[in-house]
Chain A
Amino acid sequence: MTTQGPSADVSASQRRLRRPLDGASIRDMGPPSSEVKGRPTAVRPDARATYGSARSATDHRSVRPGRALRRRERTLHPGAWWVWALGLAVAAARTTNPLVLGLLIAAVCLVVALRRADTPWARAFRLYAVLGATIVALRTAFRIVFAGGGPTVLFTLPRLAMPESLGGVSCGGPVSAEALASGFYGGLQLATMVVCVGAANALANPKRLLAAVPGALEELGAVLTVAVSVFPQLAQSVERVNRARALRGGAGGRWRVVRQVLMPVLVDALDRSVELAAAMDARGYGRRAALTTVHRRVTTGILLTAVGALAVSAYALLDTSGTSAWVGGPLLASGAGLACVGLWAAGRRSVSSRYRPDPWGWLEWVAAASGIAAAAILARCAATDPVMMFPAPIPQAWPAVTGAVVLAGAIAALPGIAAPPPPLSTSRGAP
């Protein structure tokens, strides 16, 4: 599956050849489903065939003549995107410098803009961006309301002291530039992490990610997959019932309207889930290999020990007194090791196999490594140059960056070019 086109691909040609995302999403919206059964499709079948997934090695249509410049489409392993995004989130945790954080956000947004498909979860990236902006705004607003002191007072709000019973918190008072800046820095750090997680969500197909969970957890994965698909169905159900409500007429209060919609939707959802459970049962969900009692007990023992070790190590690592810190690291490592062994042993109970698992090629390594490298560089910077990474708030100090940080930002943005373009979804996604 690593039959990539010329990787020395410049972004200009990328831009030129990229399908217009917006056009695709308009075409993808389709009509509101009026006929429950009819399902008039807005997507022409031929269009779908043309944009057919390139995941299939046997799918010859995906090799298009006359588009030699265009790289072969495929989706990156969802795990690679998650490693990359979590690496950047860890990197963001290592700094409060707004310039560094801004650089990370820019890198993340660039990659998402270049490499997301037209799937419903990809469109949800905007929600994470909005959430991030809200966090920044809230953190800053809190600093204004619960005024933090500082030398550079910008303005003064009327003071309002809370009664002692509410903890004696005071509102208002002088608002300083330092307080505002530190509120903004803190908010931006959190927002960067949120955007990183949002990027992983936008770039990685959640269902493929769940399909890649270890054997012992695959049934949980199947349950989550189904849960993910339930939400669009619920939305569809609500829309349908709401329209049907108009057919019956009759006035009614707000509560009655809620009941008119909620009752049929909930009953419908219950019916569907029972039906689905029956279907999954009939198709072998939950089949188990026959294992000996000894094997089962040993597996349970290993897993319990692992959980215990992990819990104690977490306590030791978080213990601020420092007396037990030396056991934390080794205990964490052994707990994690035991957990892996336990999961492997438990996975042997499962008899299932995988159809076309997502390949992990060198491009996956590139994406994952770029996230880890960015995190490593910033961690190193934080250790050697704390003044730059944790600057005092404006106007005491103006944030600045070094070459190493710019390099980390560039590395973080690398998957935007290195990763293959995603195939346009063959699905219409959520109705």
Chain B
Amino acid sequence: MIRFTDVTIRYAGAHAPVVRDVTLHVGEGEFALVTGTTGCGKSTLLGAASGHVPHFTGGTVSGQVTVGGLDTRDHRPRDLAHIVGVVRQDPLAGFVADTVEGELAYGMERLGVPPRTMRTRVEETLDLLGIADLRHRTVHTLSGGQAQRAAIAAVLAAGARILILDEPTSALDPGSTEEVLAAVLRLVHDTGVTALVAEHRLERVLDYADRLVVVEAGRVRSGPPADLIAHAPLAPPVVELGRLEGWHPLPLSVRDARRAATRSGLPARLAATMPRQPAADAGSLPGADRDAHGEGLVARGIDVDYGPVRAVRGATFRLPAGRVTALMGRNGSGKSSLLWALAGARTPSAGTWSVNGVRLNGTGRAAMLAAVRLVPQEASDLLYLDTVEAECAEADTACRSTAGTCRRILDRMVPGIDPAMHPRDLSEGQRVALVLAIQTAANAPVLLLDEPTRGLDYVAKAALTAALTRLAAGGRAICVATHDVEFAAGVAERALVMAAGEVIAEGPAAEVLAGSTVFAPQVAKVVAPAQALTVAEVAAALRPRVASSDGAP
């Protein structure tokens, strides 16, 4: 259905082509997964398949791209609308009509589908995606998962046989992600739709892919996932666990990995070397804190209201200094509201909170900013100057730290950013790092991050994890609201879980996350009942055993 023949794509003004000599064939009914680090040319590849590149973006495409038998050279994206359906990261940005039903009809209206056919197709597609009850909803009131399913329904209703999904789940919580991926998979299996999907969180989709397309420095390799993943630059935790343990074939899903682990006796070995940690949780026992950094942030009974709606009710918890705490929960569970309230940008209706013993509620903005800093979800909202250098200098002036502080922090996190660059031209990961550096320069004892991993690949996430761990080691209390369970498992020592505005679980990450069905990372599911969350933990736990068994023959 999608065929690339010797395709090289070069943008005007760029010294090197984005992708070169791509020859790729995705057959009908295949689920092809495109992977690669940020900026490797994934989006360009997907764009070329829909005609978006070069008709919309400009640039030169040599070679031939055919979709459903039509050459994209002669067909603009609008001429391919009846064959190719494109769904992007933020479906709301692409909605044209105001209701779900109108949105489904829009594509068919443009194609001139007769009204009677339109009526039946709208009904069928609503049922196919399970969104019939949303038909009259205004698109802006949909949740992320619902909006994404509506967007998929809209392109399917127009008759698309090829779905191109560019990171469809990167803004969704684990539940909504499942919802969207399940819908896509069902479409591929039941209706023979061809899907070309770019996705950062490989752990969610790898197992279902018929074909893996690895984009690396402009080169493209494609083949069965099990063969290619062994040498892919990015791999989900189960694969890394398989590499560590030398399993062959490499497991692609938790189920495969669990079988391999049972065969090789990994859970038992881990249980032997990792005695269940005593519940010496610094957070749950105030006063028993051995850290010299102070007690961190203590919140009691915080309520946040929006008019008649109570977004946060009675939140009581601690963010101990010197530790990273993950704040998890589904979309709309009150995570952001809580963080904004703690940062002093929204006045809670009730509750008190203090940082290192100093009560904060009722104090002025300056006192709050000195104590708590927040990196918001739309991190770029904080950036308004022309260069990275100017932003850093501005941050230093604003918090009266010595010149160069912010830049130094930034360099330690992500070295080598050109100071003359415009902040908007940075990659997603670099931008988050810049805002984090700006907010860290103020040297506040509490640092909050709201969903910082959106659009970040494994490499950028690893850099962020390292940066946060280092900041925490310096004595800060850090709280990261995130949907990304693998990231949370890697970065956090403690976890808070919120649901319907309430804090429903608080404790060491190993206990809270490993025991959860939704928030458990892949490694935890594989090695249960041993409590390890990441591959690194498993490796660390196994190393002394290897040493001792070597030493005592």
A residues within 8 Å of B by Cβ? 29-32, 34-43, 45, 48-49, 52-53, 56, 58-59, 207, 222, 225-226, 229, 240-241, 243-251, 259-260, 262-264, 267, 272, 275-287, 351-356, 426-429, 431
CB-based nearest B residue for A286: B78
Query: Would A247 and B377 be within 8 Å (CB), given that A272-B93, A281-B77 are in contact?
Result: no
B255 interfacial by beta-carbon distance below 8 Å: no
CA distance A354 to B118 in the complex (A): 9
CB-based nearest B residue for A249: B369
CA distance A43 to B331 in the complex (A): 16
Query: Would A281 and B118 be within 8 Å (CB), given that A29-B307, A35-B332, A431-B140 are in contact?
Result: no
Query: Would A356 and B115 be within 8 Å (CB), given that A34-B306, A40-B306, A279-B96 are in contact?
Result: yes
Report whether B383 and A42 are in contact in the complex, using a CB–CB cutoff of 8 Å: no
Residues of A within 8 A of B311 (CB): 31, 34, 40
Report whether B86 and A279 are in contact in the complex, using a CB–CB cutoff of 8 Å: yes
Report whether B171 and A37 are in contact in the complex, using a CB–CB cutoff of 8 Å: yes
7 more contacts with CB within 8 A, not counting A38-B333, A356-B115, A428-B140, are A42-B309, A49-B133, A59-B136, A264-B383, A267-B380, A352-B110, A355-B108
B336 interfacial by beta-carbon distance below 8 Å: yes
CA distance A31 to B377 in the complex (A): 18
Report whether B133 and A250 are in contact in the complex, using a CB–CB cutoff of 8 Å: no
Residues of A within 8 A of B96 (CB): 222, 225-226, 276, 279-280, 283, 285
CA distance A161 to B398 in the complex (A): 55
Query: Would A283 and B336 be within 8 Å (CB), given that A264-B383, A355-B108 are in contact?
Result: no
Mark each residue of chain B from 351 to 367: 1 if its CB lies under 8 Å from any CB of chain A, else 0: 00000000000000110
Query: Would A31 and B343 be within 8 Å (CB), given that A248-B438, A282-B81, A283-B154 are in contact?
Result: no
Mark each residue of chain B from 333 to 349: 1 if its CB lies under 8 Å from any CB of chain A, else 0: 10111001001111000
Mark each residue of chain B from 301 to 317: 1 if its CB lies under 8 Å from any CB of chain A, else 0: 00000111101000000
Distance in Å: Cβ of B92 to nearest Cβ of chain A: 9
Residues of A within 8 A of B373 (CB): 247
Residues of A within 8 A of B346 (CB): 34, 243
B residues within 8 Å of A by Cβ? 50, 52, 55-56, 76-82, 84-86, 88, 90, 93-96, 98-99, 102, 105-115, 118-119, 122-123, 133, 135-138, 140-144, 154-155, 158, 171, 306-309, 311, 331-333, 335-337, 340, 343-346, 365-366, 369, 373-374, 376-378, 380-384, 394-395, 397-399, 424, 438-439, 442, 451
CA distance A311 to B289 in the complex (A): 85
Query: Would A248 and B398 be within 8 Å (CB), given that A282-B81, A284-B110, A427-B141 are in contact?
Result: yes
Report whether B384 and A264 are in contact in the complex, using a CB–CB cutoff of 8 Å: yes
CB-based nearest A residue for B137: A426
Report whether B332 and A32 are in contact in the complex, using a CB–CB cutoff of 8 Å: no
Residues of A within 8 A of B90 (CB): 275
Report whether B380 and A264 are in contact in the complex, using a CB–CB cutoff of 8 Å: yes
Distance in Å: Cβ of B334 to nearest Cβ of chain A: 8
Report whether A247 and B343 are in contact in the complex, using a CB–CB cutoff of 8 Å: yes
Report whether A246 and B109 are in contact in the complex, using a CB–CB cutoff of 8 Å: no
Partner of B345 from the list A246, A285, A287, A355 (CB cut-off 8 Å) is: A246
Report whether B122 and A355 are in contact in the complex, using a CB–CB cutoff of 8 Å: yes
Residues of A within 8 A of B332 (CB): 35, 38-40
Residues of B within 8 A of A247 (CB): 343, 345, 369, 373-374, 376, 382, 439
Q: List 9 A-B pairs, minimum CB-CB distance, nearest first.
A: A31-B306, A250-B398, A279-B94, A284-B81, A355-B105, A427-B138, A284-B110, A244-B381, A263-B384
Distance in Å: Cβ of A254 to nearest Cβ of chain B: 15
CA distance A241 to B345 in the complex (A): 12
CA distance A45 to B344 in the complex (A): 31
Report whether A287 and B78 are in contact in the complex, using a CB–CB cutoff of 8 Å: yes
CA distance A428 to B141 in the complex (A): 7
Residues of A within 8 A of B377 (CB): 35-37
Residues of A within 8 A of B93 (CB): 272, 275-276, 279
Report whether B331 and A37 are in contact in the complex, using a CB–CB cutoff of 8 Å: yes
Residues of A within 8 A of B106 (CB): 283
CB-based nearest A residue for B118: A355
Q: Give 11 CB contacts A-B under 8 Å.
A: A37-B171, A38-B332, A42-B307, A56-B135, A250-B397, A251-B398, A267-B380, A282-B81, A282-B84, A353-B112, A353-B113
Distance in Å: Cβ of A179 to nearest Cβ of chain B: 49
Partner of A48 from the list B95, B137, B331, B451 (CB cut-off 8 Å) is: B137
CA distance A207 to B85 in the complex (A): 25
CA distance A377 to B498 in the complex (A): 67
CB-based nearest B residue for A256: B384
Residues of B within 8 A of A260 (CB): 384
CB-based nearest A residue for B80: A282
Residues of A within 8 A of B344 (CB): 246
Residues of B within 8 A of A279 (CB): 86, 88, 93-96
Query: Would A36 and B378 be within 8 Å (CB), given that A283-B110, A355-B108 are in contact?
Result: yes
CA distance A43 to B307 in the complex (A): 12
Query: Would A428 and B158 be within 8 Å (CB), given that A247-B373, A249-B369 are in contact?
Result: no
Query: Would A241 and B381 be within 8 Å (CB), given that A35-B337, A249-B398, A282-B52 are in contact?
Result: yes
CA distance A260 to B384 in the complex (A): 5
Chain A CB count within 10 A is highest, among B136, B311, B424, for B136
Distance in Å: Cβ of A237 to nearest Cβ of chain B: 9
Residues of B within 8 A of A355 (CB): 102, 105, 108-109, 115, 118-119, 122
Partner of B94 from the list A35, A276, A287 (CB cut-off 8 Å) is: A276
Report whether B98 and A282 are in contact in the complex, using a CB–CB cutoff of 8 Å: no
Report whether B112 and A249 are in contact in the complex, using a CB–CB cutoff of 8 Å: no
CA distance A87 to B514 in the complex (A): 70
Query: Would A240 and B337 be within 8 Å (CB), given that A247-B343, A276-B93 are in contact?
Result: no
CB-based nearest B residue for A31: B306
CA distance A278 to B451 in the complex (A): 27
CA distance A347 to B123 in the complex (A): 28
Residues of A within 8 A of B112 (CB): 351-353
Residues of B within 8 A of A58 (CB): 123
CA distance A312 to B106 in the complex (A): 40
Partner of A37 from the list B78, B144, B384, B438 (CB cut-off 8 Å) is: B144
CA distance A251 to B398 in the complex (A): 7
Distance in Å: Cβ of A99 to nearest Cβ of chain B: 42
CB-based nearest A residue for B94: A279
Residues of A within 8 A of B306 (CB): 30-32, 34, 40, 42
Residues of A within 8 A of B424 (CB): 267
CA distance A416 to B82 in the complex (A): 44
Residues of A within 8 A of B122 (CB): 355
Query: Would A352 and B378 be within 8 Å (CB), given that A29-B307, A48-B136, A279-B86 are in contact?
Result: no
Report whether B77 and A244 are in contact in the complex, using a CB–CB cutoff of 8 Å: no
Residues of B within 8 A of A426 (CB): 99, 136-138
Residues of B within 8 A of A42 (CB): 306-309
Distance in Å: Cβ of B133 to nearest Cβ of chain A: 7
CA distance A264 to B336 in the complex (A): 20
Query: Would A249 and B399 be within 8 Å (CB), given that A280-B96, A284-B81 are in contact?
Result: yes
Residues of A within 8 A of B343 (CB): 247
Partner of B141 from the list A43, A245, A272 (CB cut-off 8 Å) is: A43
